[in-house]
Amino acid sequence: MLFKNKSVKALAESYKRIWSIGQALGLMGWDLEVYMPENGANARANAESQLELLIQKYMLEMKKDLRMAKKEKSPNVYEQGFIRSTIRDIDYFTKIPPILIEKFSKATAKGHISWRHAREKSDFSKFKPDLELIVKLAREKAERLGYKKHPYNALLDLYEEEFTVAKADKMFGKMVPRLKKLTEKIYREEKVLRSHPLEKIAYKTEPMRQVNEKILKLFDMPNGRFRMDVSTHPFTMGINVNDVRITTRYEGTDFKRSVFSTIHEMGHAIYELNYDSRLEGTPLSDGASVGVHESQSRFWENIIGRSNAFAGLVTPLLKKELPFTRRYNKNDIYQYFNCVKPSLIRVDADEVTYNFHVYLRYEIEKKLINGDLEVSELPGYWNDMMEKLVGIRPKNDALGVLQDVHWSGGSFGYFPTYVVGNVIAGMTLQKMEKNMGSAALWGKVQKGQFNPIKTWLKDNIQKWGAVYTPNDLQMKVFGNSYNPDPFLSYLERKYLD
């Protein structure tokens, strides 16, 4: 039994209701993306918001249990985590009144429609008034939540606990100049391809699905606890620790996009499957943060999936299932997996230039929430910064400021977690190579022996779920936090040596 103290046991007992609603919401959200007929969307959204209100109600009812639990003299690490997480949740629901939640969900529902319309027409003015309201409400949210130094800190903290503008500035401050140098060198030396003929080749869904299923087998994903389906936007949904689902998509050309989307979501799923099962039913059966979660997906997608060793392992499988790959050897496949070029769309960017795309959004959000930048200035600011960082200028707003869904949903503070994910994935690789030996690690990948790698991740990071803050977890595993050096060294080694 993880919880010894009576008051924490009482918290766990109360939390079961919230956990159950969470499972229902998870399943409803999954169904909405995978199976639901389109016209069910309205009623589904109404039902979801009723269940979310129930969560808020039950959470606030835990105040008394929490008061008792906070008095415990010597809580163990699990109890400390449970208490910390409950304080956070209750604090959020206390500070954000239902009326603001309602305003927010109305504004974002409307904003989502106008954003889609604006993107189709590539006309920012169609989205501008709604975005102005969403930014205003996000600023109000930050004010109500409270912050030290910078209002954006309040929003960052929602996705990455204790992460701040100061920490993000430090992280990006180290990364951006070094990545600039790296990309300039990559383009100058011309050893890395900018594009590959395979990007243009069309494929059929069924053989591609076979490829993805076989790749999941290579990684030994557990059949009875895991499944893969199809959706427009791939995602991972952990319903509970023994029911974790991913989705992928089949665009019909450039098959690596489907492969890496599958491996990315599989990385999220491995994390969800590896939480200590004794944490089930508590808020600790969750990732340490959005950034830590993303590090686990990016570790598998980029560091393992785009490696030389993995290209060697997967090439025979590709040749068998996708006849058009037969004229290419494993080095060609490796190069195809790792083209680097300036591009306008974040989700299509390579693992090097991707970080510029996120940095740009971080700078914009920071200034928007602070009032240093107005919504009307967004398209111009975006295009200027894109040109400065990536070296190309969007011809229209659909290829620029209108490309992401996040702002229409009011998710300010989310973007930086993508780079936090890269950074922690780099720290993970460095530590794993140190523990296992670099040659041994890559030898295992080459042979498809992934279980020692999965076990390392489970024992060091994943089994802990949300017991520790993301910062404490990193300190415990790596001895420092949000350190971009290992990730940058990994990229320099990979693309320059």
So which residues are the catalytic ones?
Answer: 265
Least spacing, CB of residue 1 vs Mg ion, in Å: 33
The residue type at 460? N
The residue type at 385? M
Residues 6+ apart with CB under 8 A from 327: none
The residue type at 363? E
Return the closest-CA partner of residue 333 out of 344, 342, 341, 324.
324
Give 297 or 343: the residue with its C-beta nearer to Mg ion: 297
**Virtual torsion, Cα 244, 249, 255, 256, nearest 10 deg:** -50
**Binding segment toward Mg ion, per CB under 5 A, in 222-230, 297-305, 310-318, 326-334:** 297-305
Residue 27 Cα to chain centre, angstroms: 19
Give 124 or 159: the residue with its C-beta nearer to Mg ion: 159
Residue nearest Mg ion, Cβ-based: 297
- Please report whether residue 297 would count as binding Mg ion according to CB under 5 A: yes
Gyration radius of the chain's alpha carbons = 23
**Binding segment toward Mg ion, per CB under 5 A, in 93-101, 277-285, 290-298, 320-328:** 290-298
Least spacing, CB of residue 487 vs Mg ion, in Å: 16
**Virtual torsion, Cα 73, 74, 79, 85, nearest 10 deg:** 60
Burial of 200 (0-12, 13-18, 19+ CB in 10 A): exposed
**Binding segment toward Mg ion, per CB under 5 A, in 4-12, 193-201, 272-280, 296-304:** 296-304
Return the closest-CA partner of residue 249 out of 94, 47, 443, 33.
33
CA distance 284 to 99: 29
Least spacing, CB of residue 269 vs Mg ion, in Å: 11
State the DSSP string of 390-435: TS---SSGGGTTTS-SGGGGT-TT-THHHHHHHHHHHHHHHHHHHH
- Contact of 315 with 329, CB cutoff 8 Å: yes
Least spacing, CB of residue 425 vs Mg ion, in Å: 11
User: According to CB under 5 A, which residues from 49 to 108 bind Mg ion?
Assistant: none
Least spacing, CB of residue 148 vs Mg ion, in Å: 29
Least spacing, CB of residue 247 vs Mg ion, in Å: 12
Q: Rounded to 5 degrees, what are φ and ψ at 227?
A: -150, 165
Give 281 or 305: the residue with its C-beta nearer to Mg ion: 305
Using CA atoms, how far residue 328 sits from 235, 258, 259, 324, 333, in Å, is: 31, 19, 17, 9, 7
CA distance 358 to 346: 8
Tokens 């990684």 correspond to 219
Least spacing, CB of residue 265 vs Mg ion, in Å: 7
**Binding segment toward Mg ion, per CB under 5 A, in 162-170, 293-301, 403-411, 452-460:** 293-301
The angle, 0 to 180 degrees and rounded to 10, between the axes of the packed helices 416-436 and 485-496 is: 80
Other beta carbons within 10 Å of 37: 6
Give 84 or 298: the residue with its C-beta nearer to Mg ion: 298
Give 337 or 418: the residue with its C-beta nearer to Mg ion: 418
Residues 6+ apart with CB under 8 A from 120: 398
Give 282 or 297: the residue with its C-beta nearer to Mg ion: 297
Give 153 or 296: the residue with its C-beta nearer to Mg ion: 296
**Binding segment toward Mg ion, per CB under 5 A, in 111-119, 253-261, 294-302, 433-441:** 294-302
Give 265 or 363: the residue with its C-beta nearer to Mg ion: 265
Least spacing, CB of residue 447 vs Mg ion, in Å: 27
- Please report whether residue 248 would count as binding Mg ion according to CB under 5 A: no
Task: Assign 328 to helix, strand or coil.
Answer: coil
Determine the size of the site formed for Mg ion (CB under 5 A).
1
Chain positions contacting Mg ion, by CB under 5 A: 297
